[in-house]
Amino acid sequence: MTLNTAQRRYLEAMGIDVFIARYGESRVLAVKPENPVPVVLTYPPAVDPALWEALRGEVAACTRCALHKGRTQTVFGVGDTAAEWLFIGEAPGAEEDRQGEPFVGRAGRLLNSMLQAIGLRREEVYIANILKCRPPDNRDPRPEEIACCEPYLRRQIRMINPKIILALGRVAAQNLLKIDTPIGKMRGRRYEYPDPRVPVIVTYHPAYLLRSPKEKRKSWQDLQFALRVYRESE
């Protein structure tokens, strides 16, 4: 039996603690002291760790486009592979290329604050990019580079199977949704990723918000909208 969010909240309201094994075969519920017998509910792991690591290895060894020649390392993604929230940005920058993790530095700290504003922690979501390698001088990704990386991201989305995707910035949104609509017109609308069918909400990239702090209010509106869409899917 798999517990959904509403069921977990109901059990917690009853004073039942829910312990979830990251890649295990069961959930163990430690019940109230007056009834100390644990209840074990089996469930399938969200992502097969062997398949996930195999995909990570494919990305690390990728030479499909010229970007591999200048990278320090690939930036596969970070977070919980059982996450219900998936955040997708554009491409690694210089610091991400050095550390091998997306959204570090000032943009990463702002993203962390955005997550906290809607009650999430970085460890509870999954964060990835359209590209797995850094474009030189942080230029926009080229169509052929995106085409080479797209199968990797598509497989990540299928394996994680999130309940909602947030596209961070114009490049991520337009390429994820296969449209050329300006980001200002994409905000406040519910899109859908086709396979698996997942709602997609568009907001500004944290790096853009650092350059244009007056737009943070709009980003907060987008996050509130995403929360409403997410709750509708529960």
In whole angstroms, give the CA distance from residue 76 to residue 87. 13
33 neighbors 43 (Cβ within 8 angstroms):
no
What 194-198 contacts at long range (C-beta under 8 Å, 24+ apart), as own/partner pairs, is: 195/154, 195/158, 196/157, 196/158, 196/161, 198/86, 198/157, 198/161, 198/162, 198/163, 198/164, 198/165
pLDDT confidence band for 3 (50 / 70 / 90):
low
The model carries a pTM of 0.81
The domain segmentation of the chain, as residue ranges, is 5-42, 49-233
Q: Is 19 helix (H, G, I), strand (E, B) or coil?
A: strand
pLDDT digits (tens, 9 = 90+) for 89-145: 999 999 999 999 999 989 999 999 999 999 999 999 999 999 999 999 989 999 999
The residues, any chain, with a CB within 8 Å of residue 47's CB and separated by 6 or more, are: 81, 82, 159, 160
Strand intervals (E) in the chain: 17-20, 26-30, 39-42, 78-79, 85-89, 126-129, 164-168, 191-193, 198-203
What value does the mean pLDDT take over residues 10-36? 47
pLDDT digits (tens, 9 = 90+) for 133-184: 999 998 999 999 999 999 999 999 999 999 999 999 999 999 999 999 999 9
- The pair of structure tokens assigned to 159 is 């394996």
The whole-number pLDDT of residue 7 equals: 54
Fold for the domain defined by 49-233: Uracil-DNA Glycosylase, subunit E (3.40.470)
71 neighbors 97 (Cβ within 8 angstroms):
yes
- The pair of structure tokens assigned to 141 is 């990704």
Mark 15-47 as b/e (b = at least 16 C-beta within 10 Å): eeeeeeeeeeeebebeeeeeeeeeeeeeeeebb
Average pLDDT of the chain, as a whole number: 87
Q: From the centroid of its chain, how far is CA 7?
A: 23
The whole-number pLDDT of residue 12 equals: 58
In whole angstroms, give the CA distance from residue 223 to residue 111. 11
Q: What is the CA radius of gyration of the chain?
A: 19
